[in-house]
Structure 1
Amino acid sequence: MEALNTEGKISCRTLWISDVHLGSVHCKADYLLQLLDRVKCERLYLVGDIVDVWAMHRRVYWPESHNHVLRKLLKLSRKHVEVIYIPGNHDQNFREFCGGEFGNVHLRQEAVHETVDGRRFLVIHGDELDYAVRYSRLNRAIGDIAYDFLMSVNRQVNRYREMTGKPYWSLAKWVKGHIAQAEQAIDAYQDAAVLMARQRGLDGIICGHLHHPLIQQYEDILYCNDGDWVESCTALVEDFAGALHLIRGIGDPATATPLLFAETQTQEA
């Protein structure tokens, strides 16, 4: 990715982030702040679950770093960055304001983004596609509890790994890659996303929700998931040629070490 320089700075046309989950103990706000300090973009899409209202119903957790993220996003919106906020299921309370503005932030139910090379992408959070994996309301509730438990265990595991000098490891990602039902659910979700984009006559779809970052070509449709800031700490960027890349923030938020590397994953399904 040409826009990534040796100091870890990125200049790009468009940035997508989702599933930050501010208000959740699992949110990695410090990593996101480091990313936002290193990326310069013209347009920023907040693709849902930025604030985790669900988590705050169970437990209020709001350290100062979560305030810093909100202030940073609002500051960007005042500095000639077009900010488009598409609420997700965890911050669905904000969906009633879609079509309006919050300061310089535009709230939308969905968007169609056109890349510099003329491709058109549907941008949605992605919970609209849960029907494809046959989630009932009960299943979603059980799934949220199970996921929260996995992330709690994962925090303890990584505290031990950090003490022993080992890198971060995601238990939830391991489960998604090794449990057949989880893989099937992800495949069904992605198939539904591709079908939605195709039916609308678009070139691709960009979403979040799954916490499963990926860029994958499905014949005529490019599927992009920008990941999350709970496990993978990834975002999606469009460079000035129109190409899409995943970027990842990895490292110790207490250090000044550049955390970014870029990867382009355009696999054929």
Structure 2
Amino acid sequence: MSLPRVRSVFISDVHLGTRACQAERLLDFLRAYPAENLLLVGDIVDFWAMKRDVRWTPAQNTVVQKILRRARHGENVLFIPGNHDEALREHVGIRLGDIALVREYVHTMADGKRYLVIHGDEFDQVTRYHRWVAVLGDVAYEWLVRINVWLSWLRRRLGVSGYWSLAGYAKRKVKLAVSFVGDFESSVARAVRERGLDGVICGHIHVAAMREVDGIDYVNCGDWVDSCTAIVEHHDGRLELIEWREDTGTPIALGEVAVLAGRAAAAVREAEALDA
């Protein structure tokens, strides 16, 4: 399925080099959404996981080739390293072939709004000040992914359609994770407001979102591990959150975004009730 060319595509948290990376679905998405600008918003390659075990598939190779080809054919491709590919931060300011490597980027939308594009780990207190905890959590996450492989096999045997992520489910249900997401969003919004910008597009926490937080347009790309989501900008400056389901790209309408936000708020209220 080929859709009309959009102005910009934002993707984050691909985690190339791991068994969790859903490279095939990302390829389908990239083929469907040609763009003028492609912004890679961090954790595209997972150097953390690759120190323990490298899982590099032909599809992941093709993802890299696809991105390089888009840059070579005139698409403006920017790479903003995240914490999992932070080794590349030592080289910001240079170009990797036709791809510009930058620490952050202020993107002006077609309607004139200015958004900070940043991975977001700078606002994660665990990653900044307790790296060993972040690494331990990364290892635990990898085990959840391995378990999910067996669960996916069992679901197929039982004839259950669709992809389901154990790690994603855990993030949505664990009270600490819900609280962390809220704190992260507020911290990012506060920093962006202080810089006089209209909004932010980030990644890092693997929770796709598109809503207003403390007067700032907060947009999170999500990931290509659990949710397979991305953000696209249309030629009128309108942003859209895309969830790629199987082989079909499904735009999440504003009503659905409101439902997702309502669910998140309900989860917070449920967590607070448990403490009462």
Q: If the length of structure 2 is used for normalisation, what is the TM-score?
A: 0.88
Greater CA deviation, 227-236 or 152-161? Answer: 152-161
> Is 1:185 aligned with 2:174?
no
1:260 lines up with 2:254 in the alignment = no
2:158 and 2:51 map into 1 onto residues whose CA distance is 35
**Aligned-partner Cα distance in 1 for 2:2–2:96:** 31
Flag structure 1 segments of 5+ consecutive residues without an equivalent. Answer: 1-6, 252-257
Cα pair 1:205 1:222 within 8 Å, conserved:
yes
CA shift digits 1:20-63 (9 cap, x unpaired): 11111111111111111111100000011111111110012212
Local SS of the residue matching 2:56: coil
Q: Tell me the C-alpha RMSD between the 2 structures.
A: 1.7
Residue of 167, 171, 177 corresponding to 1:172: 167
- Write the letter of the residue equivalent to 2:212: Q
Q: Alignment partner for residue 59 of structure 1, among 49, 53, 56?
A: 53
Task: Give matches, 1:34-73, under 5 Å.
Answer: 34-73=28-67
Q: Which amino acid aligns with 2:15?
A: H
Residue 8 of structure 1 deviates from its aligned partner by: 5.2
Asked if the contact 1:130/1:189 (under 8 Å) is kept, the reply is yes
Alpha carbons 1:133, 1:188 under 8 Å: kept: no
Q: Percent identity?
A: 41
The match for 2:108 is 114
Give the partner amino acid of 2:11: I
Distance 1:225 1:148 in 2: 22
Q: Is the 8 A contact 1:112 1:123 kept in 2?
A: yes
For structure 1, which segment, 34-43 or 129-138, has the greater mean C-alpha deviation from structure 2 after superposition?
Answer: 129-138
Structure 1 residues 78-97: aligned runs within 5 Å: 78-97=72-91
- Between the aligned partners of 1:24 and 1:68, the Cα distance in structure 2 is 15
The more displaced of 227-236 and 59-68 is 59-68
Match of 2:27 in 1: 33
Deviations 1:157-200 (A, max 9, x none): 11211222222112222222221111001111111111111111
Aligned match of 2:11 in 3, 6, 17? 17
How far 1:10 sits from its partner (Å)? 4.4
Note the C-alpha offset of 1:219: 4.2
Aligned-partner SS, 1:13: strand
2:109 aligned with 1:127: no
1:136-215 alignment runs, 5 A limit: 136-166=130-160, 167-215=162-210
In 2, the alpha carbon distance for the partners of 1:61 and 1:132 equals 26
Aligned match of 2:212: 217
Matches of 1:232 and 1:9, distance apart in 2: 21
Asked if the contact 1:8/1:260 (under 8 Å) is kept, the reply is no
Q: Is the 8 A contact 1:216 1:223 kept in 2?
A: yes
1:264 offset after TM fit, Å? 3.9
* Amino acid aligned to 1:14: S
Unaligned runs of 5+ in 2: 266-276
Query: Does the 8 A contact of 1:21 with 1:49 survive in 2?
Result: yes
